[in-house]
Structure 1
């Protein structure tokens, strides 16, 4: 049997450590954005929170923009993964559960972090095109997942706009949640949207 070289043995742990460091930096960047906004979220602050040196942070993400666009992309992937995990079989019988899950995506710290990046991008020329491109991709992915989970047929007139309206509504509830946690009103809106979707898309089951 052939042996494993010392270089090969060392390389795997080093790769694992590198991945773990990158993950800690992304999680710390998201937390900093959610808590402190763009102005209070520097590479040094994120590195300290992640427990790594500034040099190590810059090795993974050479610029601040690199770090935070990667962090929001990470957030988007986590949101999509979480949504799919709730409905692993695809289209759900209970549309209310799907609407509630979509709304939940926009009412937590992950959305708050993304929002801070949007605000920063509106004022930062270097950041704006990257965030715009990223959000367009996130929007397409969210729409595709929503269509699948709702069992919607976009070849029917008005269905695409109905699904997009749902996502716009969820985003609006997320914005409102930044100021007040109005869970009761949110639940009533979710129930109403589920009813509207059953009327527009046809009752499932």
Structure 2
């Protein structure tokens, strides 16, 4: 009987890599949930690790610093929500009302609440501020690009780019209002009016 050969390295490491990715995902989702519920001050690495069901050491293996963890978490969920928005809302002029509703939902959900806490923390944390500023710039560009696609907007027409940006600014404003009170009826009226305005401007 010949010698027993070790399993190929890739076969051995694949399950470990899968577990590592799953742990990372749980940490990111837990970080966003904690940030939305407890704010920056209450969202320590230990609190996030406990919510994710992993040890603090495992959390720090994936994210050496608290800033690494929370900037990655908000970026992760921003990408997830953007992907969901692209997938769920058909693009084009016939679906502008649905597009406006989807964009507003993006800014009135837990992601926005978590991001807002991160912005407030970054205003006082010199180490965090440049990372959050760069992240928000990227998220803003991506949100604008998706909005243009969903609305079927032609930004070569004067005023269209500003109108699309105005929609995003309005959605952020509704997100801020939702932090204090969930005025769904007023939000529905605002969404309907913005859909009408977009049809008039975009044609």
Question: Shorter-chain TM-score: what band?
Answer: over 0.9
Q: What is the distance in 2 between the residues matched to 1:92 and 1:101?
A: 14
Unaligned runs of 5+ in 1: none
Moved beyond 3 Å, runs of 4+: none
Deviation at 1:92, TM superposition (A): 5.1
Q: Is the contact made by 2:91 and 2:99 (CA closer than 8 Å) also made in structure 1? A: no
Q: What is the distance in 2 between the residues matched to 1:4 and 1:198?
A: 65
* Aligned partner of residue 40 in structure 2, secondary structure: coil
In structure 2, relative to structure 1, the CA distance for the partners of 1:5 and 1:195 (3 Å cut) is same
Deviation at 1:8, TM superposition (A): 2.9
1:73 paired residue among 71, 75, 78: 75
Task: Normalising by structure 1, report the TM-score.
Answer: 0.94
CA RMSD of aligned residues (A): 1.3
Deviations 1:113-171 (A, max 9, x none): 11110111111110000000000000000000000110101001010000000000000
Aligned residues: 199
* Aligned partner of residue 157 in structure 2, secondary structure: coil
Q: What is the distance in 2 between the residues matched to 1:98 and 1:58?
A: 39
Q: What is the distance in 2 between the residues matched to 1:53 and 1:92?
A: 49
More helix per residue: 2
Match of 1:184 in 2: 185
Match of 2:142 in 1: 141
Q: What is the distance in 2 between the residues matched to 1:8 and 1:127?
A: 37
Q: Is the contact made by 2:93 and 2:199 (CA closer than 8 Å) also made in structure 1? A: no
* Aligned partner of residue 106 in structure 1, secondary structure: helix
Task: Normalising by structure 2, report the TM-score.
Answer: 0.95
Q: What is the distance in 2 between the residues matched to 1:175 and 1:10?
A: 48
Deviation at 1:19, TM superposition (A): 0.2
Match of 1:23 in 2: 25
Match of 1:41 in 2: 43
User: Which deviates further from its counterpart, 3-12 or 107-116?
Assistant: 3-12
Q: What is the distance in 1 between the residues matched to 2:45 and 2:73?
A: 12
Q: What is the distance in 2 between the residues matched to 1:129 and 1:75?
A: 19
